[in-house]
Chain A
Amino acid sequence: MSRALKVSVISPEATLFEGEAPSVIAPAFDGEVGILPQHAPMVTTLGRGVLRVGEGTTRFQIEGGFLQVVDDVVRIVTEHATKV
């Protein structure tokens, strides 16, 4: 069983982040959603807020877009994302 998520943060212009992380906390449309390994496949729209990848300092300010989890691969796809 894998213990890490493969995370990528994608904006139209570029892939802003790609790597492994133990967890992801994202601002969903109705509040924050936390993703840990072995999450069920899910697609949710995102609101405005801070996306946190792992416990480190990888944070993004995002607005809109969506998050997709499938087989421990997390994709955050958003038109507005800036690293903070």
Chain B
Amino acid sequence: MAKGRELKGRIKSVENTRKITRTMEMVATSKMKRAQDRVVAARPYARALGEVIASLYSPELAERFPLLRQPEREGRAAVILLTSNRGLAGAFNANLIKEARTLLARLESAGTTVELHVVGKKGVGYFGYVGRALATTRTDLTDRPTAADAASLVDGLIGRFTTGELDAVYVVGSRFNSVLSTPPTADRILPVTPPAATGAQKDYLLFPSAETILTELLPSYVRNAVYRALVETAAAEQAARRTAMKSATDNAGEMLNLLRRTYNRARQAQITQEIAEIVGGASALQG
């Protein structure tokens, strides 16, 4: 019964794998729900900040703010690529890396010197493998990114943009549209594109002045753009892992059905053969 035992071993192994993928699916589902809540919780802040900046922004004011400066050509740019620390999330990291490579190719063909900042082990691993020099790497961000993480990531770049050392800063991450739609996107966070003003403008009393308020709020706006990218990418990672693990669990189930059917057929064939042998042996003795 050599074949039967072999099949039994395979059935056991697929069952164990399915147990793991099913657990990972459930873990990812619950993590994703919490990450999704954080994406939603981050919206009022972004909205409030955007509204106030939009109501204070005026083209005349813009020329005096380094963060709003629009360089004629991008000589030096920085790209922040957000990836995950862990794998088994389907094409999640591959998609992000592809998006980053497209952006790099586009910038570099326009003659821009690009420095790459990578967050997450997967991205660091990939660019290490292809042998590209990375400006900075971060692998200490958890799946619960905080506003402080975003600040530590981007504050240095804001400073260098202000002094004119950089002409643009991009963030590549996943947008979390819904559980099923998490496309990789590349956003330019510097220079700041002021949000469009909506509705009637109120005549605000401004303390100390529109300029001072903008000076303080623009960096917050940039930091918040990075924070949003971090939370959305974290949520998208869990969504991607959930989808990948769900299809792995389904595939394991299908494979189990096939293996069990083959095993039972082999077992039945063997029993039939044994009975035939016994009957044959008995009739030979009688003869």
Contacts and interface: CB of A to CB of B under 8 A. Distances in A.
B44 A45 contact: no
Contact of B147 (A11, A42, A66, A70): A11
Interface in B145-200: 146-147, 150-151
Interface string A49-84: 000000000000000111010100001010100000
B213 interface: yes
A79 B220 contact: yes
Interface in B41-64: 41-42, 44-45, 48-49, 52, 55-56
A10 interface: yes
B105 to A, nearest CB: 33
Interface stretch (B89-97, B114-122, B201-209, B236-244): B201-209
Contacts of A42: 204-207
Contacts of B146: 13
Contacts, number: 76
B274 to A, nearest CB: 69
Q: Is the interface of A mostly helix, strand, loop or mixed?
A: strand
Interface of B: 38, 41-42, 44-45, 48-49, 52, 55-56, 146-147, 150-151, 202-208, 212-213, 216-217, 220, 223-224, 227
Interface of A: 8, 10-15, 28-30, 33, 40-45, 64-66, 68, 70, 75, 77, 79
